[in-house]
Amino acid sequence: GYLPEMWIKNCVVVGLASAFVEPIEATSIGGTIQQLRCLIDNLYAYNPKSVAIQKTFNYKMNIMMENILSMIYLHYMSDRDDTEMWRAQKNMPVPEYLQNLLDLWSERPPSHYDIGYSNYEMFHVQHFYHVAQGQKVINLQGASRLLDEFNLREEAKNMYYNAKLGQSNHAKVDHFESLKQIQI
């Protein structure tokens, strides 16, 4: 969860004082960095009568937090029900931010315009797409139609092939030998 108003009058909360997402991910550190970036963009101009600065900061941080919470939630979307944790997860409400994306992606493939870049979002379409594809919540028929409609199937195959080739077309390095060469 997170505080919907992280900036009130002359007090701003950041980091764990403002939000808690999950203890084993770096999202908290990333969120804190984004909060500080937004704060730096606004703090120099702040005065006690600055209402719009506070309102905009809070608005942007709410979008950032909904983006983070939706990405975390997406990781836990599963058909598993073998433990109480997974059964409880099925009863958790889907964040509206994520539900809107899932509804859209059930009708067409994700577009890089689906998630903005101006509100300090930490996760963008490619991040969501990667996880959503693994969780099997992407409409594969829609993606296939897109490839066919724009004659991109062959290009996509070539890109995939070249990416796989790039993983193995370089000289192999023996880690032990590399470590021996490091001089302290």
Contact 45/53 with Cβ under 8 angstroms? yes
The answer to whether the beta carbons of residues 54 and 7 sit under 8 Å apart is yes
Q: Which residues of 17-30 are buried (b: 16+ CB within 10 A; e: fewer)?
A: ebbebeeeeebbeb
φ, ψ of residue 12 to 5 degrees: the values are -125, 130
pLDDT digits (tens, 9 = 90+) for 110-169: 888 999 888 899 999 989 988 998 888 888 887 788 888 888 888 888 888 888 887 777
Burial class (CB in 10 A: 0-12, 13-18, 19+), 116: exposed
Task: Decide if 146 contacts 178 (C-beta within 8 A).
Answer: no
Kindly report the pTM of this predicted structure: 0.79
CB-CB contact of 5 with 58 (8 Å): yes
d(CA 50, CA 11): 12
| pLDDT recorded at residue 150 | 84
Which tokens hold the place of 59?
Answer: 């608005």
Q: Whole-angstrom Cα distance, residue 25 to residue 131? A: 15
Each residue of 76-120: pLDDT tens digit? 988 888 999 989 988 899 999 999 999 998 888 888 899 988 889
Side-chain half-sphere of 98: how many Cα atoms within 13 Å?
25
What does the mean pLDDT of the chain come to?
Answer: 88
Please count the other Cβ atoms lying within 10 Å of the Cβ belonging to residue 92.
10
Strands (E), 82-164: none
pLDDT at residue 13 above 70? Answer: yes
Question: Would you say the C-alpha torsion 132, 137, 141, 145 has a positive or negative sign?
Answer: negative
**Given pLDDT bands bounded at 50, 70 and 90, which one contains residue 57?**
very high
Number of H-type helices and E-type strands within the chain? 8, 2
pLDDT of amino acid 97: 93
- Tokens 């979002």 label which residue? 121
